Amino acid sequence: MATDVIAVYPGTFDPMTLGHEDVVKRACQLFGTVIVAVAAGHHKKALFTMQERVDMAREALAGNPQVQVEGFTGLVRDFVVARGGKAMVRGVRAVTDFDYEFQLAGMNRHLMPDVETVFLTPSDKYQFISSTFVREIAILGGEVHQFTSPSVQHRLIEKVRSLGRE
């Protein structure tokens, strides 16, 4: 493990899933510090506010001293550089993810030549999980306990209830 290397795992995490948690655990085996960077997500219509997503991630990842969770706005490059990151972690579930992530890694290499992008795959039992699917299942009244930690599930149920979509 590279104990002095800071890795940043950016995403919207709307909500954080067991797949995200699995990627974080894998990243912790490689890097001394993993910063889960919760993006404002200007390009997406988020179900949860950024602060709610930060809080969910902190709850889900509590107990791991290697992990920090922070919200950010603006370019991920600025966040990574400001935190001294030397690696950016990206979770890849399938070939369709890889195509997009490969293009993104190329752009990030251009913007941050000193930062390496590391692709990690979640355990096969989590490869089909996406935040989009989890949100839709919850909004339509389905069970999400097999896709999220209990604290995230609770927040998701409460959010759906508050929207009058139960």
Decide: helix, strand or coil at residue 117. strand
Q: What is the pLDDT of residue 163?
A: 85
Marked catalytic residue, from 26, 53, 90, 131: 131
Marked catalytic residue, from 53, 93, 135, 159: 93
pLDDT of 57-111, one tens digit each?
Answer: 999 999 899 999 999 999 999 999 999 999 999 999 877 778 888 888 999 999 9
Are the C-beta atoms of residues 72 and 38 closer than 8 Å to each other? yes
Whether residue 145 lies in the annotated active site: no
pLDDT band at 20 (very low <50, low <70, confident <90, very high): very high
Whether residue 93 lies in the annotated active site: yes
pLDDT band at 2 (very low <50, low <70, confident <90, very high): low
What HEC string does 21-56 produce?
HHHHHHHHCCEEEEEEEEECCCCCCCCCCHHHHHHH
Whether residue 154 lies in the annotated active site: no
pLDDT of 124-150, one tens digit each?
Answer: 999 999 999 999 999 999 999 999 999
Marked catalytic residue, from 20, 26, 53, 135: 20
Omega before residue 150 within 30° of 0, cis: no
pLDDT exceeds 60 at position 166 = no
Q: What is the pLDDT of residue 1?
A: 65
- pTM of the predicted protein model: 0.92
Whether residue 123 lies in the annotated active site: no
